[in-house]
């Protein structure tokens, strides 16, 4: 195995690890989106409960408890949204790293193929030269025998 193949394989391994990290972040983002959606649903339910509470029989303690819960849910949603934005940033950085390593891998692969092609051309030239020498020797041997 040539050094170029080794370098290409190393880049492929790094790309594989980065893609694994990217997949994990994608899963994390999906879970975050589901949690944010659940929180939105709870905020809606508590908001509806406050409206219903004020229309039926006004219990200030229940309204305050629901407002407190809405505030806590809103804070949690804000934290999850910040974390989701950080995941987006991390995904962008991972994508950039993957592209950079892919470019490097392709460079190494191109050099490897060029080296292989040059070696094959050299081998073919040597083979042709050897065949020419054998043909010339045979010709000279046949001429000398005549």
Distance separating alpha carbons of residues 68 and 91, to the nearest angstrom? 35
Rounded CA-CA distance 6/25 in Å is: 29
Domains and CATH numbers, the chain: 3-116 (1.10.287)
3/6 Cα distance (integer angstroms) = 5
Phi, psi of 63 (to 5 degrees): -65, -45
Banded model confidence at residue 85, pLDDT cuts 50, 70, 90: very high
pLDDT averaged over every residue in the chain: 91
pLDDT band at 20 (very low <50, low <70, confident <90, very high): very high
Indicate the pTM of the whole model.
0.72
Per-residue pLDDT, averaged over 47-75, amounts to 81
Which tokens hold the place of 62?
A: 């229940």
CA distance 131 to 59: 105
């Amino acid at each position: 195995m040539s050094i170029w193949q080794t370098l290409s394989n190393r880049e492929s391994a790094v790309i594989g690890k980065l893609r694994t990290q990217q997949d994990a972040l994608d899963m994390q983002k999906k879970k975050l989106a589901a949690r944010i959606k659940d929180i939105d649903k709870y905020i809606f339910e508590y908001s509806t409960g406050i409206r219903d509470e004020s229309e039926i029989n006004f219990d200030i303690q229940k309204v305050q408890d629901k407002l407190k819960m809405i505030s806590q849910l809103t804070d949690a949603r804000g934290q999850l949204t910040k974390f989701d934005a950080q995941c987006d940033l991390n995904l962008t950085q991972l994508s950039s790293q993957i592209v950079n390593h892919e470019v490097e891998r392709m460079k190494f692969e191109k050099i490897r193929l060029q080296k292989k092609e040059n070696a094959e051309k050299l081998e073919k030239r040597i083979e042709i030269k050897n065949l020419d020498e054998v043909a010339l020797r045979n010709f000279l041997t046949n001429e000398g025998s005549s």
